[in-house]
Structure 1
Amino acid sequence: MLARTAENLFWLSRYMERADYVARLLQVTGQMNAVRVDSDRNSEWESAIVAAGGSDSYYARHTEADEPSVIQFLAFDADNPSSIVNCIEIARRNARAVRTALTADMWEAVNTTWQELSTYRNTPMTEDLLSEFLEWVKSRVGLFHGVCSNAMLRRDGFHFVRVGQYLERADNTARLLDVKYHVRLPSVSDVGGVIDYYQWLAILRVVGARRAYRVMFKGPVEPAHVAELLIMRGEFPRSLAFCYNQITQHLDLIEDQDPQRAAEAKRQAHAIYTNLRYGQIDDVINNGLHEYLTDLIVRTEALGSQISEGHLF
């Protein structure tokens, strides 16, 4: 496969996955903001900006993180490369560049999403319409990944799509958990209280894990169990362990034109997965969950760069 084709497939999948994550983040942030009873009502919107990785660009143009500004920035801002609108725009450009490498259903899923996007961009955004828009984004991304899974040949193109999807998902999950556990850690008086409980519940909502948590852990929501579910439980498809299991599998299945160049990306991916698979959550928390997640985010970014160096250029 041509490196340019592989690169477009890789980023097509990453940007579709990112659009889904930002939509989920905005949904839950709105829900969390509605249940806050203290005066710091903007704190949820601040955490959304941090969890989306857009703090620098946002605060370069805004002085505070209020609800209308954050929604505009994360959903519709043309100058924010990770806004939902831009994610769909960029994904469509990548799909168009490799039209012949996609199935008809995959192209239709991306192109129809791009076409329907104008309906929301050109309509005044009410609360009800915003809720409809975010649900629409989630359903369209789900459709894309579904038709990819059901119709695409299990060859290099499919493997690059899946590597991109799960690398993006791993990065998003790690950032989300780190924001709650460190950046937006509640005051001592909040720990174990109502606000703390609903913040951990919000994380489960973002990744669609409320039912999975109830099945795997009986009783109330506990931080250590949430961390374990999202980091080390390979049964859950948005956990870091599951994502890296998929990354290693698909990297191993790619036919390397230059095995020596590609070997380093595989080595890094397998090293991270081994740590996730055989690690213990108690050790992670005792040694510092923030430090662990920060290291993982850095290593995930480095892996993305190494995949580009070994396969895409």
Structure 2
Amino acid sequence: MLSRTASDLYWMSRYLERAENLARMLEVSYSLSLMPQDGRGNGLEELALPLLITGTLDEYLERHGPLHAERMLHFFALDANNPASIYCCLQAARTNAHAVRGRITADMWENINATWLEVRGIAEQGLGRYGISRFCEWAKERNHLFRGATFGTIMRGDPYRFIRLGTFIERADNTLRLLDARYEMLGEDIDENDGRPARSYYQWTALLRALSSFEAFAEIYRGSPNTRKVAELLLLRAEVPRSLRSCMDELNLMLASLPGENGRPAQRLAAELEARLRYTSINEVLDEGLHGWLTDFILLVRQLGQAIQTSYLEVA
């Protein structure tokens, strides 16, 4: 497969996954901002979470001034001038899909093209009239439909593998960043010593729901969510689809199945990261310090993305 084609497929799926992850991030931030604040503020700290996770706080402040709920939600949902918005991610995904129409199925193309046309209509209508919760659900649903069309219609060849690579490298990064941001907001001893068990429970539950892992948590663990349980679930449990371990298992599998010698650096790094997660316990993670461990692994996932880019996607 040509590097340019592989790159378009890879980035098409990354942008689609990013759009869904942004919707999940907005949903959890918005729901947390509506909680009673117990004299701790007006909910803007929670609404600022997507800005901190994506590194766009300075850009937002420069363009829009002080944090404001309505402006921040529009900035991440439908702002055509913000490359990190859901609108721009869907536009970029559609552009990449158009470039490789001959390598994806008609069902996949029709889904992604319809999604782009719909988001343009929503942008004309305005988020205030459409509703943020409804919009986030719509964004997630459209990506579910695309994944279903992909899984159900495309041949299991190299195009499929590069689509899966894009999906899981993006998902791994998002899971790490969401968990780190939630942990940093509350600190090491939030579960035991802050005196706000109801608030802690709601925030952990919101995070689990944002990653579609609440039901998995309820099935595996007893009692209320806390740092240890949630970190283990989202980092080390292979059976949870959005966990870091599950993403690395899939990345390792897809890279190992790609032909040729050029991909050995990416294949080796993916295998090392998968083995590290397979043989790491949650006690080791917490002993090292959760924030430090997450920060290190975010950098490792970025290195893996760069290795994939160098090995397969750069046009000679």
1:32 deviation in Å? 1.2
Question: Is the CA contact (8 Å cut-off) linking 2:94 and 2:112 kept in structure 1?
Answer: yes
Alignment match, 2:100 = 98
Helix, strand or coil: the match of 2:48? helix
Provide the rounded CA distance (Å) in 1 between the counterparts of 2:264 and 2:127. 48
Alignment match, 2:152 = 150
Aligned pairs for 1:9-48 (under 5 A) are: 9-39=9-39, 40=41, 41-48=43-50
Provide the rounded CA distance (Å) in 2 between the counterparts of 1:191 and 1:53. 31
Question: Is the CA contact (8 Å cut-off) linking 1:248 and 1:269 kept in structure 2?
Answer: yes
Provide the rounded CA distance (Å) in 2 between the counterparts of 1:79 and 1:187. 39
1:52 deviation in Å? 3.5
1:127 deviation in Å? 6.4
Provide the rounded CA distance (Å) in 1 between the counterparts of 2:120 and 2:290. 41
Alignment match, 1:291 = 292
Question: Is the CA contact (8 Å cut-off) linking 2:232 and 2:282 kept in structure 1?
Answer: yes
Provide the rounded CA distance (Å) in 2 between the counterparts of 1:127 and 1:23. 17
1:53 deviation in Å? 3.8
User: Alpha-carbon deviations, 1:111-155, whole Å to 9, x = none?
Assistant: 010111122000132366322221111111001111111111111
Alignment match, 1:238 = 242
Aligned pairs for 1:151-170 (under 5 A) are: 151-170=153-172
Provide the rounded CA distance (Å) in 2 between the counterparts of 1:200 and 1:52. 20
Point out the more displaced range, 186-195 or 199-208: 186-195
Helix, strand or coil: the match of 1:139? helix
User: Alpha-carbon deviations, 1:155-198, whole Å to 9, x = none?
Assistant: 11100000000000000000000111125538866366222222
Alignment match, 2:56 = 54
Provide the rounded CA distance (Å) in 2 between the counterparts of 1:53 and 1:158. 31
Question: Is the CA contact (8 Å cut-off) linking 1:22 and 1:52 kept in structure 2?
Answer: no
1:296 deviation in Å? 0.6
**Counterparts in 2 of 1:214 and 1:169: CA distance versus 1, 3 Å:** same
The one-letter code of the counterpart of 1:31 is S
Provide the rounded CA distance (Å) in 1 between the counterparts of 2:188 and 2:299. 25
Q: Does 1:185 align with 2:187?
A: yes
**Counterparts in 2 of 1:186 and 1:229: CA distance versus 1, 3 Å:** closer
Alignment match, 1:276 = 277
**Counterparts in 2 of 1:191 and 1:249: CA distance versus 1, 3 Å:** farther
Question: Is the CA contact (8 Å cut-off) linking 2:169 and 2:247 kept in structure 1?
Answer: yes
**Counterparts in 2 of 1:275 and 1:192: CA distance versus 1, 3 Å:** farther
Point out the more displaced range, 169-178 or 109-118: 109-118
Aligned pairs for 1:74-153 (under 5 A) are: 74-126=76-128, 129-153=131-155
Helix, strand or coil: the match of 2:34? helix
Alignment match, 1:69 = 71
TM-score (norm 2): 0.93
Instruction: Determine which of 174, 194, 197 is the counterpart of 2:198.
Output: 194
1:274 deviation in Å? 0.8
Q: Does 1:210 align with 2:214?
A: yes
1:72 deviation in Å? 1.2
User: Alpha-carbon deviations, 1:8-64, whole Å to 9, x = none?
Assistant: 000000000011111111112221111133341211011232233423432333443
Helix, strand or coil: the match of 1:126? helix
Provide the rounded CA distance (Å) in 2 between the counterparts of 1:290 and 1:57. 25
1:254 deviation in Å? 1.2
Percent of pairs with identical residues: 38
**Counterparts in 2 of 1:305 and 1:43: CA distance versus 1, 3 Å:** same
Question: Is the CA contact (8 Å cut-off) linking 2:74 and 2:127 kept in structure 1?
Answer: no
Q: What is the root-mean-square deviation in Å for CA atoms of aligned residues?
A: 1.7
Alignment match, 1:6 = 6
Q: Unpaired runs of 5+ in structure 1? A: none
Provide the rounded CA distance (Å) in 2 between the counterparts of 1:83 and 1:216. 35
Provide the rounded CA distance (Å) in 1 between the counterparts of 2:77 and 2:220. 33
Provide the rounded CA distance (Å) in 2 between the counterparts of 1:250 and 1:56. 37
Question: Is the CA contact (8 Å cut-off) linking 1:18 and 1:168 kept in structure 2?
Answer: yes
Provide the rounded CA distance (Å) in 2 between the counterparts of 1:12 and 1:88. 9
Q: Does 1:171 align with 2:173?
A: yes
Q: Unpaired runs of 5+ in structure 2? A: none
Paired residues in the alignment total: 310
Question: Is the CA contact (8 Å cut-off) linking 2:78 and 2:127 kept in structure 1?
Answer: no
Provide the rounded CA distance (Å) in 1 between the counterparts of 2:125 and 2:248. 40
Question: Is the CA contact (8 Å cut-off) linking 1:241 and 1:277 kept in structure 2?
Answer: yes
Helix, strand or coil: the match of 1:154? coil
TM-score (norm 1): 0.94
Alignment match, 2:264 = 263
